[in-house]
Amino acid sequence: MSKILGIVTVAAVATLALAVSAKAVRFTLTSPSLIEGGIVPNAHVYRGYGYNGENRSPQLSWSGAPPGTKSFAVTVHDPDAPRPGGWWHWLVFDIPATGTGLPEAAGNGAGLPPGAIESVTDFGSPGYGGPAPPPGRPHRYVFTVYALKVAKLGLTSTAAPAVVDAAIRKYRLAEASITAKFGK
């Protein structure tokens, strides 16, 4: 009986250790200016199309990348845009695996780590373009970091958003997102 109790105790401890370990490696994305379900601040809103935002990309931090992560990618996507596939506001990839975030305003290219690439967005050029939805209901803006199993996607800054998205999805190990809203 005591042998069975000992085996059950060992199994329970092992299960608890795995549960604690799983929580410790959860891949997460945080930002001091973005709150899940909150409103995107004016600092990150596009300047143009009737908006007077500051068009600065938000500071983003991530932690808990899974083993085997060789690089990261960050995207900002508006799935509510009135066009097929939504609207890509920012695509950055080939962020070194040693990275743990991007500073505010990295979307102008100056704050990116060496080797990181910003590709063309639906605004027509590389770099961050903040929310600028047409009048109506607020749109969702999904800020996502991806842990990737390759160091380089093999793409350039002229790669179309759909091509970058497909490559990211092909090589992703994990992803973490913050969804915020904005509208007139």
Domain regions of the chain by residue span: 26-182
As a CATH number, domain 26-182 is 3.90.280.10
Q: What's the N-to-C CA distance of the chain in angstroms? A: 69
Q: pTM for the complete prediction?
A: 0.87
pLDDT of residue 19: 43
Indicate the Cα dihedral angle 140, 146, 151, 156, nearest 10°.
Answer: -10
- Write out the DSSP string of the chain: -HHHHHHHHHHHHHHHHHHHHHHHT--EEE-SS--TTSBPPGGGS-EETTEE---PPPPEEEE-PPTT--EEEEEEEETTSSSTT-EEEEEEEEEETT--EE-TTGGGSTTSPTT-EE-B-TTSSBS-----PPSSSPEEEEEEEEEESSS-----TT--HHHHHHHHHHHEEEEEEEEEEE--
The radius of gyration computed from the CA coordinates of the chain, to the nearest angstrom, equals 20
pLDDT of residue 81: 96
pLDDT of residue 109: 77
**Torsional sign, CA 94, 72, 168, 18:** positive
pLDDT of residue 6: 40
pLDDT of residue 9: 39
pLDDT of residue 184: 86
Q: What is the pLDDT along the chain (184 residues), one digit of tens a residue?
A: 455 434 433 344 343 344 444 445 799 999 999 999 999 999 999 999 999 999 999 999 999 999 999 999 999 999 999 999 999 999 999 999 999 999 999 998 789 999 999 999 999 999 999 999 999 999 999 999 999 999 999 999 999 999 999 999 999 999 999 999 999 8
